[in-house]
Amino acid sequence: MRRREIPILRERTVSPEEALSKKPRLRRNIFRIEQPFERGFSGSDIVVLIGIAVLIYVGVRLALQAPETVAGPTISLSPRMLPYYALRSVGRMAAAYFLSLTFTLVYGRLAAYNRRAELVLLPLLDVLQSVPILSFLPVVLLSLSAILPERAAAELASIVLIFTSQAWNMTFAWYQSLTTIPVELREASAIFRFNGWLRFKVLELPFAAISLIWNSMMSWAGGWFFLMAAEIFTVGQRDFRLPGLGAYLQEAANQGDTRAILWGVGTLVLVIVALDQLVWRPLLAWADRFKLEMVEGENPPTSWFYDLLRNAHILEWLSHRVWRPLSERVDSWFIRRTAAEAGLEKPGRPYFFYLLVLLMGLGLAYGAVRAALMLATVPAHQWGEIGLGVLATLLRVSASLLIALAWTIPVGVAIGTNPRVAAYMQPIVQIVASIPATALFPVFLLFIVGLPGGLNIAAIALMLTGTQWYLLFNIIAGASAIPQDLKYTSALIGLSRWGRWRTLILPALFPYIITGAITASGGAWNASIVAEYVEFGGQKLHTIGIGALIAHATGTGDYPLLLASTLAMVLTVVLINRLFWRRLYRLAEEQYRME
pLDDT in tens, 511-557: 888 888 887 887 788 778 777 877 655 567 778 888 888 878 876 77
pLDDT-derived band at 73 (thresholds 50, 70, 90) equals low
**To 10 degrees, the CA torsion angle through 90, 93, 96, 97?**
-100
| Choice among 47-56, 209-218, 277-286 with the minimum mean pLDDT | 47-56
Q: How far apart are CA 494 and CA 475, in angstroms?
A: 25
Higher-pLDDT residue of 194, 366:
194
Confidence at residue 308, expressed as pLDDT on a 0 to 100 scale: 84
Every domain of the chain and the residues it spans: 6-18+27-302+381-591, 310-340
Confidence at residue 250, expressed as pLDDT on a 0 to 100 scale: 75
Give the mean model confidence (pLDDT) for residues 1-13.
37
Give the mean model confidence (pLDDT) for residues 83-97.
90
Confidence at residue 436, expressed as pLDDT on a 0 to 100 scale: 62
| Choice among 69-73, 435-439, 452-456 with the minimum mean pLDDT | 69-73
Q: How far apart are CA 423 and CA 404, in angstroms?
A: 22
Cα-trace Rg, the chain: 25
pLDDT-derived band at 103 (thresholds 50, 70, 90) equals very high
Confidence at residue 116, expressed as pLDDT on a 0 to 100 scale: 75
Cβ count near 190 (within 10 Å): 12
Give the highest mean pLDDT range of 127-131, 192-196, 201-205. Answer: 201-205
Confidence at residue 277, expressed as pLDDT on a 0 to 100 scale: 86
pLDDT at 459 over 60: yes
Confidence at residue 3, expressed as pLDDT on a 0 to 100 scale: 39
Give the highest mean pLDDT range of 87-96, 267-276, 465-474. Answer: 87-96
Confidence at residue 315, expressed as pLDDT on a 0 to 100 scale: 76
Higher-pLDDT residue of 588, 179:
179
Q: Is 592 helix (H, G, I), strand (E, B) or coil?
A: coil
pLDDT-derived band at 97 (thresholds 50, 70, 90) equals very high
Give the mean model confidence (pLDDT) for residues 190-215.
86
Higher-pLDDT residue of 145, 25:
145
CA nearest neighbour of 512 among 448, 585, 572, 442: 585
Question: HEC profile for 43-109?
Answer: HHHHHHHHHHHHHHHHHHHHHCCCCCCECCCCCCCCHHHHHHHHHHHHHHHHHHHHHHHHHHHHHHH
Confidence at residue 99, expressed as pLDDT on a 0 to 100 scale: 92
| Choice among 372-386, 398-412, 538-552 with the minimum mean pLDDT | 538-552
Confidence at residue 105, expressed as pLDDT on a 0 to 100 scale: 92
Confidence at residue 36, expressed as pLDDT on a 0 to 100 scale: 40
Give the mean model confidence (pLDDT) for residues 26-30.
34
What is the Cβ-side half-sphere exposure of residue 340, based on CA atoms within 13 angstroms? 6
pLDDT at 237 over 90: no
% of the chain surpassing 90 pLDDT: 7
Higher-pLDDT residue of 311, 535:
311
Contacts of 226 (CB under 8 A, 6+ apart): 133, 134, 161, 162, 165, 436
pLDDT at 219 over 90: no
State the helix-helix crossing angle for 205-225 and 419-434, rounded to 10 degrees.
40
Residue pLDDT, tens place only, 462-481? 788 767 888 888 898 888 87
Residue 56 Cα distances to 67, 242, 288, 368, 546, angstroms? 19, 24, 43, 10, 17
Residue pLDDT, tens place only, 133-164? 655 666 666 666 666 777 777 788 788 888 88
Higher-pLDDT residue of 115, 220:
220
pLDDT at 434 over 70: no
Mean pLDDT of the chain: 75
Q: Side chain identity at 175, as an amino acid letter?
A: Y
pLDDT-derived band at 9 (thresholds 50, 70, 90) equals very low
Residue pLDDT, tens place only, 224-233? 777 766 776 6
Q: How far apart are CA 578 and CA 571, in angstroms?
A: 10
pLDDT-derived band at 356 (thresholds 50, 70, 90) equals low
pLDDT-derived band at 409 (thresholds 50, 70, 90) equals very high
pLDDT-derived band at 14 (thresholds 50, 70, 90) equals very low
% of the chain surpassing 70 pLDDT: 72
pTM of the model: 0.68
pLDDT-derived band at 17 (thresholds 50, 70, 90) equals very low
Give the mean model confidence (pLDDT) for residues 300-315.
80
pLDDT at 300 over 80: no
Confidence at residue 34, expressed as pLDDT on a 0 to 100 scale: 36
| Choice among 77-81, 351-355, 588-592 with the minimum mean pLDDT | 351-355
**To 10 degrees, the CA torsion angle through 61, 63, 68, 72?**
170
